């Protein structure tokens, strides 16, 4: 009867079976566990402790710890067990649920490897470098030990493949913030923003989580050849909202409209009688337009170009030429500036070659002959 009872107490284990065990000893390359309802020793090789590489068994488990394990081999005096496989079974189930639902998961970065990061979620998860952040990162060395939130972008149990993305999480958060910001932004608002990107056609400015475009024509009152001549990435700028397209998430901004116009206070900057240095911008039949301040051009009428009579302004001036001009009239309201070049030049004295009248010439000749005759007589 006693023998029958002892036989009942001996449990027969099978490969693939999930068992519970308590860690009794942690050695360098393996762990010994005490199994429920069994006199056999349970051995976990170091390679079966984790889905990741393990240097020391003590880095993963400690004495007295309760573990869920899978039987991978049955020997006469011991069971070879796997903590890694037991965890993977449940892990894949949980990950599949999260993947199908589109849920996020948190994980600690365990390793930094070539091409990305590695996490342990009961199975090995890989985060490609391009999916870590929504910006370029040159060095990932300080990511080890950090806990980040991820989205599962690829899951294949058969291939033991799990690809994660932190970038997707950031983009979703920015998307939500962008929609919230778009609801609050209205045309006409003046806001502060940060220059994010510069292109040939303008600059993108972040105004509270949403980017708006400042077209090159709206960067400054004066003509701008290259946006990078006026703004730089990271610069804080004041912008005015020109329009908001919530359906397409597009915002048009202006820096120019937050700044005083070039004609503002022109009466003070260029009062009548002031001498200014300017650049000839355009020649027309009736005169020349000279830029004296950025965005401020005044007209030098053809009659004010030279004291000499000229048929066309091009006889005296050429585009791009630097000239001195005098302000002869200014009208801020009508944005009109009348200039003169000739008033700064000295008027050349007129030299006339008068001819003597004929009678005078004759008189002089007679006098000369008379004088000669007097000399002969004497």
- The predicted model scores a pTM of 0.54
Q: How confident is the model at residue 98 (pLDDT cuts 50, 70, 90)?
A: very high
Residue 13 banded pLDDT, cuts 50, 70, 90: confident
Local confidence band at 357 (pLDDT 50, 70, 90 cut-offs): low
Q: Are residues 248 and 194 in the same domain?
A: yes
Same structural domain, 46 and 63: yes
Under 8 Å between Cβ of 296 and 266: yes
pLDDT at 355: 55
Task: Say whether both 72 and 114 belong to one domain.
Answer: no
Lowest-confidence region among 60-69, 147-156, 344-353: 344-353
Which pLDDT band, with edges at 50, 70 and 90, does 3 fall under? very low
Domain boundary among 224, 258, 292: 258
pLDDT of residue 9: 53
Residue 365 belongs to some domain of the structure: no
Q: Output the pLDDT for position 375.
A: 54
Classify residue 177: in a domain, yes or no.
no
Q: For residue 9, is it within any domain?
A: no
Number of domains in the chain: 4
Asked if the structure places residue 243 within a domain, the reply is yes
Lowest mean pLDDT among 2-6, 248-252, 356-360: 2-6
Residue 312 belongs to a domain: yes
270 with 301, same domain: the answer is yes
Taking Cα atoms as reference points, which of 124, 171, 166 lies closest to residue 148? 166
Kindly indicate the confidence band of residue 372, based on its pLDDT and cuts at 50, 70 and 90. Answer: low
Tell me which of 54-63, 188-197, 357-366 is least confident: 357-366
pLDDT: which is higher, 300 or 265: 300
The residue segments making up the domain with residue 234 are 185-258
Mean pLDDT of 139-165: 95
Q: What whole-number distance in Å separates Cα of residue 180 and Cα of residue 300?
A: 54
Question: What mean pLDDT do residues 141-145 have?
Answer: 94
Residue 53 tokens read as 């590489």
Residue 150 has pLDDT above 60, yes or no: yes
Measure the CA–CA gap between 30 and 25, rounded to whole angstroms: 9
Which residue among 37, 57, 86 closes a domain?
86
Residue 4: pLDDT over 60: no
The answer to whether position 79 is within a domain reads yes
Listed range (10-24, 119-133, 160-174, 188-202) with the worst mean pLDDT: 10-24
Residue 161 lies in a domain: yes
What does the angle CA 254 – CA 257 – CA 259 come to, to the nearest 5 degrees? Answer: 120
199 shares its domain with 216: yes
Q: Average per-residue pLDDT in the chain? A: 87
Least confident of 17-21, 92-96, 281-285: 17-21
273: left (phi over 0), alpha (psi -120 to 50) or beta: left
Q: What is the mean pLDDT of residues 278-300?
A: 94
- CA-based max dimension of the chain: 192
- Look at residue 367 in the predicted model and tell me its pLDDT: 53
Q: Is the pLDDT of residue 10 over 70?
A: no
For residue 97, what are its two tokens?
Answer: 């649920």
Among 206, 233, 258, which residue terminates a domain?
258
Q: Are residues 194 and 155 in the same domain?
A: no
Q: Are strands 41-45 and 78-82 parallel, antiparallel or unpaired?
A: parallel
- 182-205: per-residue pLDDT in tens? 888 999 999 999 999 999 999 999
For the record, the structure tokens of 247 come out as 């359906």
Do residues 339 and 273 both lie within one domain? yes
pLDDT of 122 above 80: yes
CATH number of the structural domain spanning residue 231: 2.40.50.140
Check whether 159 has a pLDDT greater than 70.
yes
Confidence of residue 254 (pLDDT cuts 50, 70, 90): very high
- Evaluate whether residue 321 is within a structural domain: yes
Indicate if 162 and 208 belong to the same structural domain: no
């Amino acid at each position: 009867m006693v023998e029958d009872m002892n036989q009942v107490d001996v449990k027969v284990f099978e490969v693939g079976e999930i068992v519970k065990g308590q860690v009794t000893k942690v050695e360098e390359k393996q762990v010994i566990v005490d199994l429920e309802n069994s006199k056999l020793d349970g051995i976990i090789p170091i390679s079966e402790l984790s889905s990741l590489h393990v240097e020391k068994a003590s880095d993963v488990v400690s004495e007295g710890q309760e573990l869920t394990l899978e039987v991978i081999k049955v020997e006469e005096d011991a069971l070879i067990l796997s903590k890694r496989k037991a965890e993977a079974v449940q892990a894949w189930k949980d990950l599949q649920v999260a993947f199908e639902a589109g849920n996020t998961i948190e994980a600690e970065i365990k390793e930094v490897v070539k091409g990305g990061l590695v996490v342990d979620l009961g199975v090995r998860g890989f985060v490609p470098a391009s999916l870590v952040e929504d910006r370029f990162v040159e060095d990932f060395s300080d990511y080890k030990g950090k806990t980040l939130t991820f989205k599962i972008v690829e899951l294949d149990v058969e291939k033991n493949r799990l690809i994660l993305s932190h970038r997707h999480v950031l983009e979703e958060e920015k998307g939500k913030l962008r929609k919230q910001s778009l609801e609050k932004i209205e045309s006409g608002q003046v806001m502060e923003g940060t220059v994010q990107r510069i292109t040939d056609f303008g600059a993108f400015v972040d105004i509270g989580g949403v980017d708006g475009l400042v077209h090159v024509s709206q960067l400054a009152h004066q003509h701008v050849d290259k946006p990078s001549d006026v703004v730089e990435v990271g610069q804080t700028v004041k912008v005015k909202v020109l329009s908001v397209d919530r359906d397409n998430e597009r915002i048009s901004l202006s820096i120019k409209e937050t700044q005083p116009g070039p004609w503002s206070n022109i009466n003070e900057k260029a009062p009548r009688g002031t001498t200014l240095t300017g650049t000839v911008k355009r020649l027309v039949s009736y005169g020349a337009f000279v830029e004296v301040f950025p965005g401020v051009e005044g007209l030098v009428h053809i009659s004010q170009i030279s004291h000499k009579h000229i048929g066309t302004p091009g006889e005296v001036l050429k585009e791009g030429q630097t000239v001195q001009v005098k302000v002869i009239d200014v009208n801020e309201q009508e944005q009109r500036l009348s200039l003169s070049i000739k008033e700064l030049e000295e008027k050349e004295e007129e030299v006339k070659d008068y001819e003597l009248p004929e009678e005078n010439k004759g008189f002089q000749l007679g006098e000369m002959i008379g004088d000669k005759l007097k000399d002969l007589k004497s």
